[in-house]
Amino acid sequence: MKLRQQQDHKETLLRGVTLFETFSDDQIAELGSIMRPQVFNDKEAIITQGEGYQSTYHLIKSGRCEAHIDGVFSHTLGPGASFGETALLYDSPPIATVRAAEDSDVTAWTVSREDFQRIVVDAAMNPARVTNVVNVSTGPGSK
């Protein structure tokens, strides 16, 4: 996928996440622009319930994940689903274990808590800044 198509796809998925429903188009674009892909192999733990402080939000691009709470299967997550929002909001240990499903490599777009908070705080303090960052990343010559 070309870079512009990837960015558009991320933005479309982000607009479907309840957590971001109050974000402006510029905030969504900036969030999408800083999200980076990360690949997880089948059965690989992505986050583990109660272990440390998870500081990354994940938006599934491809593949399937399984969520377990207290060791019991809870549900399956697929493309467009996300997890790690407690990391963004509360800086707390994960409330579930999420791992790539058996026979399913997972690619997820990720953003750190620090980057997420920067977008929210910067937009609140200086709404024009978000527009300027987006114009730089999508201006002439970008693909």
Could you tell me which of 42, 32, 55, 39 has the C-alpha nearest to residue 137?
32
pLDDT tens digits, one per residue of 64-86: 999 999 999 999 999 999 998 88
What the block records as the tokens of 55 is 């500081």
- 83-136 pLDDT, tens per residue? 988 877 787 888 899 999 999 899 999 998 888 888 877 766 665 544 444 433
Q: Which of 130, 99, 141 is nearest to 27 (CA)?
A: 130
- Please state whether the predicted TM-score (pTM) of the whole model is above 0.85: no
- Which band of pLDDT confidence, cut at 50, 70 and 90, is reported for residue 20? confident
Closest CA to 82 of 38, 36, 16, 28: 16
Give the span between the Cα atoms of 63 and 51, in whole angstroms: 24
pLDDT score at 51: 84
d(CA 92, CA 3): 33
Q: Which amino acid makes up residue 133?
A: V
